[in-house]
């Protein structure tokens, strides 16, 4: 049985934007997951967004984000426009504020994948249409929602589960922390010293966890983090923009590889998840990501369905 959630008004989500998981309520998260699962099961396209257009601004390239958002709009009867920073006056010096105001006159919503989180906040503050965070250096909310959907599909509950995140304390770590405490999943994170999650975000999540009766534990010991975990999650050691640190990071993160030895500390029916793309032999061994515990390709598919739910909720 899905956790109880009061129905969100049919006109959409309470806030006009999706910038972080912290900005979405527990009930909204559950509603989005319910709607995504329903659309996944119906196996047919709808017309809920007929006549709607989504602008997609990419300052960071992507496979899954672009294809899943564009396919989501098409499957709901709408249209998506790919806008790279090279194609926009934004890349030639036009202000974020002016770009937001102009695009608000042309399209019904904007999805942005960029570097600094402050950019998307500025854009949203000056736009009169919904703005969706497709990824920033600090947050990746749509991926975290797809991860929650995948966990629920396999575990049929959130309550009492433990998720262990192993690796860089990056945008995925931040959004997973925020997502877990919202729905009642305990979370432990193992990151090397110097690569821990942001202190302010961690403190904010800890406060929310105390209210919700959820445990948030941050350590530098991966075995301690993975102990009795129901879900193990990792990410690349050098995210987009960190390529110049790649060789240095490989040496630092070697003890944080998700492999058979580390996974022995988890529960026997653990799930392995990764937002992709993956570097087999670095953050995870091939036998884990391609093994029986891995759900990474279901996780990737669920980006499509959760994006449909988000787009319906906002547009």
With pLDDT > 70 as the criterion, what percentage of the chain qualifies?
94
Q: Name the nearest CA neighbour of 267 among 178, 191, 194, 161.
A: 161
Q: Looking at residue 3, what is its pLDDT?
A: 53
Q: How confident is the model at residue 12 (pLDDT cuts 50, 70, 90)?
A: low
Q: What is the pLDDT of residues 138-153, one digit of tens each?
A: 999 999 999 999 999 9
Tokens 């534990």, residue located:
217
Structural tokens at position 291: 């093994």
Which pair of tokens denotes residue 170? 């990056």
Q: Which of 179, 142, 133 is nearest to 19 (CA)?
A: 133
| The predicted structure's pLDDT at residue 244 | 80
Q: Please check the confidence at residue 74 and state whether its pLDDT lies above 50.
A: yes
235: annotated active-site residue:
yes
Per-residue pLDDT tens digits for 266-287? 999 999 999 999 999 999 999 9
CB 194 within 8 A of CB 162: no
Q: Element (H or E) spanning 96, and its range?
A: helix 96-106
What is the rounded distance in angstroms from the CA atom of residue 169 to the CA atom of residue 218? 10
pLDDT confidence bin for 87, thresholds 50/70/90: confident
Helix (H, G, I), strand (E, B) or coil at 2: coil
Domains of the chain: residue spans and CATH: 17-139+303-314 (3.40.50.1370), 143-299 (3.40.50.1370)
Instruction: Identify whether 86 is a catalytic site residue.
Output: no
**109-113 sheet: strands from edge to edge:** 79-84, 53-58, 109-113, 131-135
* Residue of 230, 234, 286 lying closest to 255 (CA atoms): 234
Residue 44 banded pLDDT, cuts 50, 70, 90: confident
Selected catalytic residue, list 143, 168, 305, 307: 143
Query: Taking 50 as the threshold, does the pLDDT of residue 9 lie above it?
Result: no
pTM, 2 dp: 0.94
Q: Look at residue 13 in the predicted model and tell me its pLDDT.
A: 77
pLDDT-derived band at 58 (thresholds 50, 70, 90) equals very high
Structural tokens at position 216: 């948030």
- Confidence at residue 8, expressed as pLDDT on a 0 to 100 scale: 47
Q: Return the HEC string of 20-69.
A: CHHHCCHHHHHHHHHHHHHHHHHCCCCCCCCCCEEEEEECCCCCHHHHHH
Residue 88 predicted with pLDDT over 70: yes
* Catalytic residue status for 42: no
Count helices and strands in the chain by DSSP H and E runs: 12, 9
Give the residue ranges of the annotated binding site: 62-65, 89, 113, 140-143, 171, 235, 239-240, 275-276, 303
Q: Which of 139, 140, 186, 274 is catalytic?
A: 140
Task: List, as residue ranges, the binding site for carbamoyl phosphate.
Answer: 62-65, 89, 113, 140-143, 275-276, 303
Confidence of residue 2 (pLDDT cuts 50, 70, 90): low
Output the pLDDT for position 92. Answer: 64
Residue appearing with tokens 């630092």:
252
The pLDDT score that the predictor gives to residue 264 is 98
pLDDT in tens, 183-238: 999 999 999 999 999 999 999 999 999 999 999 999 999 999 999 999 999 999 98
Residue 309's φ and ψ, nearest 5 degrees, are -65, -40
Pull the structure tokens for residue 102: 């102009």
Under DSSP, is residue 158 helix (H, G, I), strand (E, B) or coil?
coil
């Amino acid at each position: 049985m899905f956790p109880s959630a009061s129905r969100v008004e049919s006109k959409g989500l309470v806030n006009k934007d999706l910038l972080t998981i912290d900005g979405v309520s527990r009930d909204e998260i559950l509603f989005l997951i319910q709607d995504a699962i329903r659309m996944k099961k119906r196996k047919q396209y709808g017309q809920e967004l007929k006549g709607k257009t989504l602008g997609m601004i990419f300052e960071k390239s992507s496979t899954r984000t672009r294809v899943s958002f564009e396919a989501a709009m098409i499957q709901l009867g709408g249209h998506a426009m790919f806008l790279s920073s090279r194609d926009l006056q934004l890349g030639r010096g036009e202000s974020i504020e002016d770009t937001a105001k102009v695009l608000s006159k042309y399209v019904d919503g904007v999805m942005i994948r960029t570097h600094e989180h402050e950019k998307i906040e500025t854009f949203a503050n000056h736009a009169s249409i919904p703005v969706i965070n497709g990824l920033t250096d600090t947050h990746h909310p749509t991926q975290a929602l797809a991860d929650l959907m995948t966990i629920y599909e396999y575990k049929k509950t959130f309550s009492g589960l433990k998720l262990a995140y192993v690796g860089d304390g990056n945008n995925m770590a931040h959004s997973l922390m925020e997502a877990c405490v919202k729905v009642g999943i305990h979370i432990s994170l193992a990151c090397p010293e110097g690569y821990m999650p942001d202190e302010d975000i961690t403190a904010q999540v800890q406060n929310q966890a105390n209210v919700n009766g959820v445990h948030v534990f941050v350590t530098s010991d991966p075995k301690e983090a993975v102990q009795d975990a129901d879900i193990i999650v990792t990410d690349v050691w050098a995210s987009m923009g960190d390529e110049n640190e790649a060789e240095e990071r490989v040496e630092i993160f070697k003890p944080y590889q998700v492999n058979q030895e580390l996974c022995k500390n988890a529960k026997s029916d653990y799930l392995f998840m990764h937002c992709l793309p993956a570097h087999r032999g670095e953050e995870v061994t091939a036998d884990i990501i391609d093994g029986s515990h891995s759900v990474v390709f279901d996780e990737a598919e669920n980006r499509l369905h959760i994006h449909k739910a988000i787009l319906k909720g906002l547009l």
